[in-house]
Structure 1
């Protein structure tokens, strides 16, 4: 590698590193103040840089959230590859549930809930949230289909039944200090097993007679 090429790589690596530092600073600001109340000035100050320099990396707060989503998507792909090397599809599903629910930090949950709230008034954030929801649904439905042990298993119906519980775990982690998700995750896993056997109650069947 020539000296010039080495310099280019060094500059690129420095930019990537700085970008990661900005994302970490942004996460801290969003968790502390909320996405809506956080300003570019707040973000620049948290990242220890001028606003002018900050705009060289991100033009708007929404761009930061998009970068976070892309970063998390890349990390998720790496994690999936590692899990697939270590075990079968069931191990992959268990690993995903552990990563995204059992091991979920409170700050990550707070940020997720805040972005859900922001999506109700910010179309750009709403689009990002919808994209993430669609990707999660597609992946989980595909996983349920591969792991199904009965022809009565309905992956789409499983996702629709389990999604409120998954979101509830995140909300509880964000809003309840000291919340331990292990019981809820165990319940989630039990429901998944029932769904794979084709015995997960449908919403209409689960309602008491007086509610119909």
Structure 2
């Protein structure tokens, strides 16, 4: 006796558009009030819809955040692909860095930090962010390797150095509205120039005995 399987119907365009609007409203709420202080009622109000109706689109606030993280991961992948279409890897590298770290508005930085914070408590959010980090690091390392001007360039170590700096920029933008990015930007360019030339600063040995 054969078993018939039913395919899951694809959401209508109207349904998808409404979900996108709810995610935009949730971003506004999470930036303004934080994830834990925001409620589904707050999100519904921001999206100009009734509280019961919002549950047709998302079963919980956690589901909203999960969809938001997935949307951000998808957008990042699409944006990097667009930058690469020009065929200039150096331009793609700096365009990606500028778009996601240097030019990000404070609201975007606050939301990024909210996602990072929730990932320490929510395994599904952590999995999405981990996958995004793995994809991002693979792209950065391959791009840095292609741009290396010396065989001594260590693209893995270079990515580790600039990644820490870029994440620090996001945190500072989120926490300090008057954060001056110029010193960090100068440090970023110095790291890239030195690392691509194979002159990345070496961490001193911690076990070295003082004379």
Instruction: Give me the whole-angstrom Cα distance separating, in 2, the residues matched to 1:210 and 1:130.
Output: 38
**Counterparts of 2:125 and 2:44 in 1: how far apart (Å)?**
21
Alignment deviations for residues 145-203 of structure 1 (CA, whole Å, 9 cap, x no partner): 22122221112111222222111100110111132424312321221121111111122
The equivalences for 1:61-100 within 5 A come to 61-100=61-100
1:83 Cα deviation (Å)? Answer: 2.3
The more displaced of 96-105 and 176-185 is 176-185
Q: Distance in 2 between matches of 1:81 and 1:118?
A: 28
Does the 8 Å CA contact 2:73/2:132 hold for their aligned counterparts? no
**Structure 1 unaligned spans of 5+:** 1-8
CA contact (8 A) 2:158 2:195 kept: yes
Distance in 2, Cα, partners of 1:140 & 1:186 = 19
Matched ranges for 1:32-43 at <5 A: 32-43=32-43
> Where does residue 130 of structure 1 map in the other structure?
130
What's 1:148 paired with?
148
**Distance in 2 of aligned mates of 1:140 and 1:127:** 20
* Superposition RMSD in Å: 2.6
Measured at CA, do residues 80 and 160 of structure 1 come closer, stay the same or move farther in structure 2, by a change above 3 Å? closer
Match of 1:30 in 2: 30
Q: Deviations over 1:98-127 (max 9, x none)?
A: 101221110011111122222233333333
C-alpha separation between the residues in 2 aligned to 1:210 and 1:59? Answer: 59
Separation (CA, whole Å) in 2 of partners of 1:118 and 1:195: 33
TM superposition score normalised by structure 2: 0.83
CA contact (8 A) 1:101 1:185 kept: no
* TM-score, normalisation: structure 1: 0.83
- Runs of 4 or more, structure 1, over 6 Å off, are none
The 3 A distance-change label for structure 1 pair 78 and 118 is closer
Contact kept? 1:83, 1:95, Cα under 8 Å: yes
Q: What corresponds to 2:15 in structure 1?
A: 15
